Structure 1
Amino acid sequence: MAKSALDPHDGQKPSIVWSYFVLTRLHKFPAGSNLAFWPGAWGITLSAFRVGMTIEQALIQLGMYLLGCTLCHSAGCIWNDICDREFDRKVAVSLHGAVFLLAVLVALWMVTLSFAGHNGIKVGLFGFLSLVPWYPLMKRWTYWPQAFLGLAMTWALPTSWASINGFTDVSIPTVLLAGGISWTIYYDTIYACQDRGDDIQAGVKSTAVLFGSHMRSILCAFASGFVMALVYTGVATGASTAYFIVTVLMTALELAWQMYILDFTNEAQCWKVFKVSNM
């Protein structure tokens, strides 16, 4: 199982400032934050064409969602570390310090959410309160923590959609949300393959453990689900031919290539494919 960010990595005592910075995962930015941001960007981009947003308005929205998703991701990582303290005993920061930093980040996130309008605030708060606190516990309760993670990481999509469009034409964000969950299960299962052996020994549940020898065929199904969601979105929004070539076809070819070449027992290759698949 991968070590928590609360653990010192090099055997030397890090500075307290650096320890707290690492706790937020901001030293790896945009990794992680981008996975939460992209679904929000999908919602904003789709909505921009529907409501006639100017480029400036769309860019401001994208900037706010990038900030909000970064804060939310950092808060989620800290909460995950706090919940994992029984697994990871060596810590570089105090529990009280971690909780205080978590509270600060959540407060800042709520400030950014306040700009999302009445509908966006309701959807965003519902997702945050019902998903983020429970994800770290899912790997103890179910073999499908990646599905729960998919909901959490894709929730910026319904938030951004509701913020701009209200609750109209909800089939578009709903189907794309399902596609985003499929995409998350796909890439996070590949990521989890790096620790599959350790997870089995530690009794940690994941789709990487569950899928076993059927890994490739099951991940192909989830990749296909993501591509089908992209197709539906394009048809429902009357997208141009360029969308179907660049977004749908190129995505399908990339995922197919990954499934063809990937050795799930090769940790370095799994890490490389994981990075490519969530760019």
Structure 2
Amino acid sequence: MNTLQGRIADSVGNWVDRNAPSAVKPYLRLSRFDRPIGAWLLLLPCWWSAGLAAVAAGQPLPNVWHLVLFFIGAFVMRGAGCTWNDIADHDIDKKVERTRLRPIASGAVTLSQALAYAILQSLVGFLVLVQFNGFAVATGIASLGIVALYPFMKRVTYWPQIVLGLAFSWGALMGWAATFGRLDVAPVLLYLGSIAWVIGYDTIYAHQDRADDLFAGIKSTALLFGERTKTMLMLFYGAAIVLIGAAGILAGGGVAFGLGLAAFAAHLAWQIVRLDISDTALCLTLFRSNRDAGLLLFAGLVLDAML
């Protein structure tokens, strides 16, 4: 069992396994509430956008109510997205050691039960979304097609991380839309920068599954980049820093934003230096550390708004 846990460390041995009632464990796992890092990574571009909007509007703080709604929405919609992903990938998950214990692949939840659960989570997410203005509601709905498409892209292209970036970065548009009822160049640049960030960190994550992906016929940037991964991370993380920096400048960001961006950049550089693509445990640790990188940038935005 120790060997198994070492290989699927993000799937077992967490608070859900230890404390949750047996009847709800499979559904909590479907939503990845046992692994909240993905929800954080979905949330952070939302908070960045809200912080950027506060800087541009001259507000002393981002809209706190919006931050709360984004928090709830990110966790719920990430759960819905993961449930949909597991529905689409249930046959593939059986072939990958890290994912073969997922609820559908293991038989703990049927496909029909999972679909009903995905719909329920989506309805909760919709109730959160309609708390915003009409433009933000329409902007949020526009992301659904990308979310639905993502699970299938790994079958046809070595760049599924781009589609994941399009989906996971959508919040970079939402905070601005919720504040101003429109989109401008600054949030679009933030969105593009976030996409580059997602491609980088999800490439690190995908290096955990290279052998299994080859066996299952799954494509990823980890397989495409291989030994060139560090060089490609420099490219994508560098693009993220430049694009996010440009967004901050256009929004009127000052010294505090610059310090937050510098801390964000330093964290990404540390990831590249530390990375060993043959060390799956380290890949998972570095992937998870992107929550801290994102919070550093958000802190810079909040401080800039306060100043």
Decide: shared fold, TM above 0.5: yes
2:43 corresponds to: 37
1:159 aligns with 2:174: yes
**Structure 1 stretches of at least 4 aligned residues deviating more than 4 Å after TM superposition:** 1-5, 52-55
Aligned to 2:129: 113
Q: In the alignment, which of 22, 40, 56 is matched to residue 50 of structure 1? A: 56
**2-side partners of 1:27 and 1:217: how far apart?**
32
Within 2, Cα distance between the matches of 1:85 and 1:2? 17
Q: Percent identity?
A: 34
1:48: Cα distance to partner?
2.1
* Partners of 1:185 and 1:2 in 2: CA distance: 22
1:184 paired residue number = 198
Partner of 1:142: 157
In 1, the alpha carbon distance for the partners of 2:258 and 2:247 equals 10
Distance apart, 1:201 and its partner CA: 1.8
User: What amino acid maps onto 2:287 in structure 1?
Assistant: F
Which residue of structure 2 lines up, in the alignment, with residue 276 of structure 1? 289
1:185 deviates by 0.6
Structure 1 residues 118 and 40, CA, compared in 2 at 3 Å: closer, same or farther?
same
Aligned to 1:252: 265
Aligned pair count?
A: 268
Give the Cα–Cα distance (whole angstroms) in 1 for the partners of residues 252 and 175 of structure 2. 20
Unaligned runs of 5+ in 2: 1-6, 95-104, 293-307
Contact 1:116 1:160 (8 Å CA) reproduced:
no
* Aligned residue number for residue 261 of structure 1: 274
The answer to whether the 8 A contact 1:2-1:195 is kept is no
Shift of 1:54: 6.2
Bigger Cα displacement from structure 2, 183-192 vs 258-267 = 258-267
Larger RCO (alpha carbons 8 Å, 6+ apart): 2
Matching residue's letter, 1:24 = S
The more displaced of 108-117 and 234-243 is 234-243
Matching of residues 54-69 of structure 1 within 5 Å: 55=61, 58-69=63-74
Question: Given the superposition, is the C-alpha separation of residues 3 and 270 from structure 1 closer, same or farther in structure 2, using an over 3 Å criterion?
Answer: closer
CA RMSD of aligned residues (A): 2.2
Q: Please report the TM-score for the alignment, with normalisation by the length of structure 2.
A: 0.82
Cα pair 1:179 1:228 within 8 Å, conserved: yes
Which residue does 2:210 correspond to in 1?
196
User: How does the TM-score come out when normalised to structure 1?
Assistant: 0.89
* Cα distance between partner residues in 2 of 1:102 and 1:144: 26
SS in 2 for 1:278: helix
1:60-110 Cα offsets, whole Å, 9 max, x none, are 110001111111100000001111122224321122211111111111111
Give matches, 1:71-90, under 5 Å: 71-87=76-92, 88=94, 89-90=105-106
Contact 2:55 2:252 in 1 (8 A): no
Query: d(CA) in 2 for partners of 1:177 and 1:113?
Result: 19
Alignment correspondent of 2:148? 133
Aligned partner of 2:255 in structure 1 is 241
Contact 1:16/1:93, CA 8 A, preserved across alignment: no
Partner AA of 1:83 in structure 2: A
Mapped partners of 2:139, 2:8: distance in 1: 32
- Residue by residue, what CA displacement relative to the aligned partner does 1:27-63 show, whole Å, maximum 9, x if unpaired? 323x2111111111111111123335465x7111100
The answer to whether the 8 Å contact 1:186/1:223 transfers is yes
